[in-house]
């Protein structure tokens, strides 16, 4: 498969993936807003998660469009031709060929274009890392909350068990502090 075909397939895949994940995040945000009685920490976490993932999806689609645009616009073909001509001239003359002002401007634009793509890839990776970290923090907080509730229930059940055991060892003759008919 030729490099332009591969690049176009990659760009189409990235755009579809980015747009699909963005649509899921928009749906998720709407569903979250439609829910009633959502705890504030849960609403904050899920709202921010949907926003981070929506931004990431859009950026992935933009990266895909930029990769496809570089090949469809002929930008890469022109860069390849420029590199091939420089190599041919250098081999024939034995020295580095001079570039015209138009070629220099094109090389600057081409370099800037791919630097922007790489910066966007870096931003996507950082947002993904931030999302993973936020998910971990939220999950650990929920785990601690569940653990604390479970320990509290275990302590209560243990106290009830000890009380029943104490009552059973006395043969049920223990007098409770509040007798029926007591006032107060």
The DSSP code for 5 is H
pLDDT number for residue 82: 82
Residue 96 lies inside a defined structural domain of this protein = yes
Residue 35 lies inside a defined structural domain of this protein = yes
Residue 94 lies inside a defined structural domain of this protein = yes
Domain that holds residue 14: 3-127
Residue 60 lies inside a defined structural domain of this protein = yes
Average pLDDT, the chain: 87
Write the DSSP assignment of 85-138 as a string of letters.
HHHHHHHHHSSPPPPPHHHHHHHHHHHHHHHHHHHHHHHHHHHHHHHHHHHHHH
Residue 120 lies inside a defined structural domain of this protein = yes
SS (H, E, C) 46-98: HHHHHHHHHHHHHHHHHHHHHHHHHHHCCHHHHHHHHHHHHHHHHHHHCCCCC
Residue 137 lies inside a defined structural domain of this protein = no
Place of tokens 């041919």: 88
| Statement: residue 184 has pLDDT above 60 | no
Tokens of 22: 């963005």
Give 2's pLDDT tier (boundaries 50, 70, 90): confident
Q: How many domains does the chain have?
A: 1
Residue 100 lies inside a defined structural domain of this protein = yes
Residue 87 lies inside a defined structural domain of this protein = yes
User: Measured between alpha carbons, how far is 160 from 165 in angstroms, rounded to an integer?
Assistant: 9
Q: For residue range 144-167, list pLDDT tens digits in order.
A: 999 999 999 999 999 998 888 888
Per mean pLDDT, which range of 7-16, 109-118, 175-184 is the poorest? 175-184
Name the pTM for this structure: 0.75
């Amino acid at each position: 498969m030729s490099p332009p075909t591969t690049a176009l397939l990659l760009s189409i895949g990235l755009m579809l993936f980015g747009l699909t994940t963005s649509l899921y995040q928009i749906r998720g945000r709407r569903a979250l807003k439609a829910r009633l009685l959502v705890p504030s920490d849960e609403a904050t976490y899920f709202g921010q998660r949907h926003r981070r993932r929506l931004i990431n999806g859009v950026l992935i689609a933009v990266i895909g469009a930029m990769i496809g645009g570089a090949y469809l616009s002929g930008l890469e073909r022109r860069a390849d031709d420029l590199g091939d001509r420089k190599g041919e001239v250098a081999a024939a003359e034995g020295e580095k060929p001079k570039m015209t002002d138009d070629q220099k401007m094109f090389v600057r634009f081409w370099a800037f274009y791919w630097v922007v793509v790489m910066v966007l890839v870096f931003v996507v990776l950082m947002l993904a890392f931030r999302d993973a970290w936020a998910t971990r923090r939220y999950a650990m907080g929920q785990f601690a909350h569940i653990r604390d509730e479970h320990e509290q229930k275990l302590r209560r059940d243990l106290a009830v068990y000890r009380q029943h055991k104490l009552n059973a060892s006395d043969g049920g003759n223990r007098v409770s502090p509040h007798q029926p008919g007591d006032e107060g």
